[in-house]
């Protein structure tokens, strides 16, 4: 799993690449504050090596909570900037600072 941030000098956005190794999975998505926790809006594409990956433009100077959804199971990003407890889910969410 990995997060890559690429700041755009000419726009107030950061291109964030989400990738997760899930060779045996049939579907994966990233859900969070930036897409209203909607898995359809956060669909990740599966690469030949079994990694799911996508890049999204996120507004800079913001903090986002997110998780991956792999075949219906919610998973945190081990390389997240931090973690925050979510009472609704009863678990921690990954935190991304851009």
Domains and CATH numbers, the chain: 2-97 (2.60.40.10)
Model pLDDT, residue 88: 84
The whole-model pTM stands at: 0.92
Do strands 63-70 and 51-59 pair parallel, antiparallel, or not at all (unpaired)?
A: unpaired
Report residues of the chain scoring pLDDT below 50.
none
* pLDDT for res 1: 60
Distance of CA 75 to the CA centre of its chain: 10
pLDDT at site 83: 97
| Closest of 1, 96, 9 to residue 58, by C-alpha | 96
């Amino acid at each position: 799993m990995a997060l890559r941030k690429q700041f755009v000098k000419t726009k107030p956005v950061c291109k964030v690449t989400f990738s997760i190794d899930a060779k045996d999975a049939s579907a994966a998505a990233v859900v969070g504050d930036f897409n209203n926790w909607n898995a359809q809006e956060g669909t990740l594409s599966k690469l030949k090596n079994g990694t799911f990956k996508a890049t999204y433009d996120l507004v800079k100077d913001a903090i986002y909570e997110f998780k991956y959804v792999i075949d219906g199971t919610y998973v945190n990003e081990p390389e997240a900037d931090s973690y925050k407890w979510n009472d609704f889910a009863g678990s921690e969410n990954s935190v991304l600072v851009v």
